[in-house]
Amino acid sequence: MNERSEDNGPASMAGIGTHERVLDLVREFVPNAARVADLAAGQGAFSRQLSELGHDVVAVDFSSENWKVAEIPLSIHDLDSEFAAEISKDHNKFDAIVAIEIIEHLENPFRFIRECAKILKPNGLLFLTTPNVEAVNSRLIFLYSGRMASFGEYETVRPAHITPIFTWKLRMMLEEAGFETIYHGFNRTNYATGVNIKGRVAAIIGRMLEPFVKGQTGGENRIIVARQIRS
């Protein structure tokens, strides 16, 4: 379930607890005011939180249609393209990038990570989240339906989730782009029960099987903090 605004302000479209956990990590790893790019900023909920921490925020999205935070500049760029040159031309480079639940929407996640590296300063940080398709309940859903959690029939209609990201794939992307991972965790470790009987059954069985299954089995949304180590 996504978190929504109770008024007419910007709403979070991320999974429950994702914004809160990423914000905690930003506080930990970027304690001082910095230049931060919020990629796929949506309505601006997280951009506003970053600004309230004192950061100089540039929000980026493919459209201004849903933008609700007038005090923060919004740059329009297609994140499924070679966007780094245009962003760098307008805004120079950043101390940190936040990319919450966008990479699974893209046709070329490898290119996306490379483009992120290009707009970061040396030792700059990338905060990235994506659905954990390796969770046990996701594996059970796949066994039954041939689709993973967060990649159901109605969740994969463009421009929604089209590219599942596995641990090995994300590690390869980051290493090839010159990043080292300094944090790897999740928004929450309990399984969402879903809105139908199949989702509930998969969640319950997933909790029971988790101790006996290898891999990244726990957690709903994966959260990565990576440092750019290649100049």
Token representation of residue 111:
């290119």
pLDDT recorded at residue 193:
54
* Cα–Cα nearest to 109, from 157, 174, 154: 174
Query: Which residue intervals of the chain are DSSP H helices?
Result: 18-29, 45-52, 84-91, 109-118, 136-145, 167-176, 197-209
Exposed/middle/buried for 90, CB within 10 Å: 0-12, 13-18, 19+? exposed
pLDDT recorded at residue 1:
41
35-39 and 56-61 strand pairing: parallel
Place of tokens 């209609």: 157
pLDDT recorded at residue 141:
83
State the helix-helix crossing angle for 84-91 and 109-118, rounded to 10 degrees. Answer: 20
- Range with lowest mean pLDDT among 127-136, 144-153, 187-196, 208-217: 187-196
pLDDT recorded at residue 194:
57
Please give the domain boundaries of the chain with CATH numbers for all domains.
18-132+162-191+218-228 (3.40.50.150)
What is the average pLDDT value for the chain, to the nearest integer? Answer: 89
Exposed/middle/buried for 121, CB within 10 Å: 0-12, 13-18, 19+? middle
- Enumerate the β-bridge partners of residue 223: 129, 185
Q: Residue 12: pLDDT above 60? A: yes
pLDDT recorded at residue 137:
81
How much is the pTM? Answer: 0.90
Q: What CA–CA distance (Å, rounded) separates 119 from 57?
A: 14
Which range has the top average pLDDT, 66-75, 85-94, 142-151?
A: 66-75
Torsion of Cα atoms, 37 then 165 then 29 then 60, to 10°: 10
Q: Residue 136: pLDDT above 50? A: yes
109 pLDDT band (50/70/90 cuts)? very high
Kindly report, residue by residue over 36-45, the tens digit of the pLDDT: 999 999 999 9
- Cα dist from 170 to 52, 111, 163, 164, 197, whole Å: 30, 12, 12, 10, 31
Q: Percent of the chain, pLDDT > 70? A: 92
Q: Which amino acid would we find at residue 136?
A: V
Q: Residue 191: pLDDT above 80? A: no
166 pLDDT band (50/70/90 cuts)? very high
Token representation of residue 202:
């998969």
Name the more confident of 228 and 3.
Answer: 228
Q: Which amino acid would we find at residue 138?
A: S
Token representation of residue 2:
């996504």
Alpha carbons within 13 angstroms on the beta-carbon side of residue 187 total: 25
Q: What CA–CA distance (Å, rounded) separates 53 from 33?
A: 8
